[in-house]
């Protein structure tokens, strides 16, 4: 398969940043692992010595899979797929997680994926023809991503970077990524601190996520899609509509328009199914699929809020 080289007039952010600055960012990020505050959990453990706390990840990132993903949004998957690299473990504890087996269900390994191996995965996805490198659940491994990216760039990586996140990111980590990431793809899960504590085990999630999204938008702006239909740069927000929580969707969609603008690209997702720990007695209210009318109500809320750019794949 012929590798996708991207539009002739487009250069990924990290190439414009320069190799020296990228290496400096990676070095500073790795130093931060000595008393880790990479994510909002602020555990302050020394991950350089392979200790871990909330994210269950020590010195090296844990990669669970890497492949051309054809299930992402059309502007990411294109015709050759989005080059997804799934990281194991997570700094959230979403009870409904669809990737529970890799986010919460796996045991911490004795060692993770070395930076040269992670860089090799990026280059392999580029050779396969993927349109971008899509880091999934990277909030807790920003230093490791930067460390590997330095190696990959030196060996010829030239694809845009997609930062596919829960939005439970620290502003310090986002500062390290400023000028590195081309496309931010954050979830905006819940708006209520009470519900965030119940379902995500992070009461501060709404506050953290809103600050993170504002900074992502400051860095890269509205999503820019090239004439071929591929995303080049910008923010793409995902919101998974939850059963029985219409007010959460309304609050989130109105906030997006109010704080980021009506031209923000949003994927209102209707594919909720019970997963993770749901089905146990503690969360019976989530133990059902989303009803079609609930999804349609969320789409109406998006339109009433004034959003002008909705991802169309799930629209009825």
CATH number for 13-68+75-310: choose from 3.40.50.620, 3.40.1190.20, 3.20.20.70, 3.40.50.300: 3.20.20.70
What pTM does this model have? 0.95
161 forms beta bridges with: 133
| H or E element in which residue 255 lies | helix 246-259
Alpha-carbon 313 to chain mean position: 19
Q: How far apart are CA 64 and CA 86, in angstroms?
A: 6
314 close to 294: Cβ distance less than 8 angstroms? no
> Encoding tokens for residue 166?
């829960």
Q: Which of helix, strand or coil describes residue 289?
A: coil
Q: How far apart are CA 278 and CA 234, in angstroms?
A: 34
Q: How do the pLDDT tens digits run along the chain, 316 residues long?
A: 445 545 557 899 999 999 999 999 999 999 999 999 999 999 999 999 999 899 999 999 999 999 999 999 999 999 999 999 999 999 999 998 887 777 787 776 657 899 999 999 999 999 999 999 999 999 999 999 999 999 999 999 999 999 999 999 999 999 999 999 999 999 999 999 999 999 999 999 999 999 999 999 999 999 999 999 999 999 999 999 999 999 999 999 999 999 999 999 999 999 999 988 898 678 999 999 999 999 999 999 999 999 999 997 654 5
269 close to 240: Cβ distance less than 8 angstroms? yes
* CB hemisphere CA count around 18 (13 angstroms): 3
187 close to 197: Cβ distance less than 8 angstroms? no
40 close to 175: Cβ distance less than 8 angstroms? no
pLDDT of residue 1: 47
> Burial, 98: exposed, middle or buried (Cβ in 10 Å; 0-12, 13-18, 19+)?
middle
pLDDT of residue 8: 58
Q: How far apart are CA 257 and CA 40, in angstroms?
A: 25
* CB hemisphere CA count around 125 (13 angstroms): 30
> Encoding tokens for residue 168?
């439970």
The CA-to-CA distance between both ends of the chain, in Å, stands at 34
Angle at 85 between CA 79 and CA 89, to 5 degrees: 145
Is the C-alpha dihedral spanning 311, 79, 101, 33 positive or negative?
negative
Domain ranges of the chain: 13-68+75-310
Mode of pairing for the β-strands spanning 224-225 and 231-240: antiparallel
Q: How far apart are CA 52 and CA 48, in angstroms?
A: 9
Give CA separation, 295 vs 2, 11, 168, 234, 248, in Å.
39, 38, 24, 26, 13
> Encoding tokens for residue 202?
């992070």
260 close to 308: Cβ distance less than 8 angstroms? no
């Amino acid at each position: 398969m012929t590798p996708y080289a991207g539009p002739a007039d487009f250069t990924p952010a990290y190439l414009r940043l320069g190799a020296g600055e990228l290496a400096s960012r990676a070095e500073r990020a790795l130093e931060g692992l000595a008393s880790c505050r990479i994510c909002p959990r602020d555990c302050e453990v020394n991950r350089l010595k392979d200790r871990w706390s909330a994210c269950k990840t020590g010195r090296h990132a844990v990669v669970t899979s890497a492949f051309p993903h054809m299930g992402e949004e059309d502007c990411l998957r294109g015709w050759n797929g989005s080059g997804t690299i799934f990281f194991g473990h997570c700094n959230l504890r979403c009870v409904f997680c669809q990737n529970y087996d890799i986010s919460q269900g796996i045991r911490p390994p004795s060692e993770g994926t070395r930076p040269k191996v992670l860089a090799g995965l990026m280059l392999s996805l580029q050779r396969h023809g993927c349109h971008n490198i899509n880091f999934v659940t990277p909030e807790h491994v920003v230093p490791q991503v930067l460390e590997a990216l330095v190696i990959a760039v030196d060996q010829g990586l030239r694809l845009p970077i997609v930062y596919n996140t829960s939005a439970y990111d620290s502003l310090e980590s986002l500062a390290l990524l400023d000028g590195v990431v081309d496309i931010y793809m954050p979830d905006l899960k819940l708006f209520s601190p009470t519900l965030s504590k119940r379902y995500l085990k992070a009461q501060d999630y709404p506050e953290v996520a809103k600050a993170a999204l504002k900074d992502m938008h400051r860095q890269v702006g509205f999503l820019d899609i090239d004439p071929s239909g591929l995303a080049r740069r910008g923010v793409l927000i995902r919101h998974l509509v939850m059963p029985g929580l219409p007010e959460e969707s309304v609050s989130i969609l109105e906030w997006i328009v109010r704080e980021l603008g009506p031209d923000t690209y949003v994927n209102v997702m209707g594919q909720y199914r019970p997963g993770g720990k749901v089905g146990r007695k503690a969360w019976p209210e989530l133990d059902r699929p989303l009803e079609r009318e609930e999804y349609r109500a969320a789409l109406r809320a998006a339109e009433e809020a004034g959003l002008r750019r909705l991802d169309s794949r799930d629209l009825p």
